[in-house]
């Protein structure tokens, strides 16, 4: 199931009010995906316009990047519990991690920066999943 991220979309106010706004149980991350999934469940029309451009300001330090992706992992586990309520092992994310580690080992140093950052993001995300898994009593790694 895909989703719209609130930094890349807009909703009508009356629709948000009818849907009950954002779920405050998702204080760190995932509230936008939760809202999108609730809208989709209500068979609301969601439109995608590929001609629109959105600009983002990204994290400027490894510490802030770690914090952000850790929060994404927490949100992922909360979504897993709310919508699926069953344990999950995400083999795809570990495949991405293994691919990037392999590329770091065999690429020229200047070409490995992207893969280092990807590994860093994945490890932070998985750490957030593990942390929230322990709190939520559901395995999501």
* Angle in degrees, 0-180, between the axes of helices 31-41 and 62-83, rounded to the nearest 10: 30
Residue 99 lies in a domain: yes
- Percent of the chain whose pLDDT exceeds 90: 43
List the domain range (segments joined by +) for residue 111: 62-136
Whether the full predicted model's pTM is greater than 0.85, yes or no, is no
On average, the pLDDT of the chain sits at 86
Residues 49 and 69 in one domain: no
**Rounded Cα distance, 102 and 72, in Å:** 24
What confidence tens digit (pLDDT) does each residue in 31-83 have? 888 888 888 887 767 777 888 888 878 778 999 999 999 999 999 999 999 99
Question: Could you identify the residue written with the tokens 């009010």?
Answer: 17
The predicted structure's pLDDT at residue 1: 52
Residues 89 and 124 in one domain: yes
DSSP classification of residue 58: P
Residue 13 lies in a domain: yes
User: End of a domain among 35, 56, 77?
Assistant: 56
Residue 45 lies in a domain: yes
110 pLDDT higher than 80: no
Question: In the chain, how many domains are there?
Answer: 2
Residues 84 and 45 in one domain: no
Residues 36 and 2 in one domain: yes
What confidence tens digit (pLDDT) does each residue in 116-130 have? 899 999 999 999 999
How many CB atoms sit inside 10 A of residue 81's CB? 19
């Amino acid at each position: 199931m895909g989703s719209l991220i609130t930094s890349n979309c807009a909703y009508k106010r009356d629709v948000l009010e009818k849907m009950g706004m954002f779920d405050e149980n998702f204080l760190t991350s995932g509230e936008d995906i939760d809202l999108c999934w609730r809208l989709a469940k209500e068979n609301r029309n969601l439109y995608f316009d590929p001609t629109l451009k959105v600009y983002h300001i990204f994290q400027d330090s490894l510490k802030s990047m770690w914090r952000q992706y850790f929060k994404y992992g927490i949100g992922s586990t909360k979504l897993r519990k709310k919508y699926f309520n069953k344990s999950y092992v995400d083999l795809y994310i570990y495949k991405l991690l293994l691919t990037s580690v392999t590329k770091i080992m065999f690429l020229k140093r200047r070409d490995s920066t992207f893969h280092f950052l990807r590994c860093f993001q994945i490890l932070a995300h998985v750490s957030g999943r593990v942390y929230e898994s322990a709190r939520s009593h559901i395995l999501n790694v």
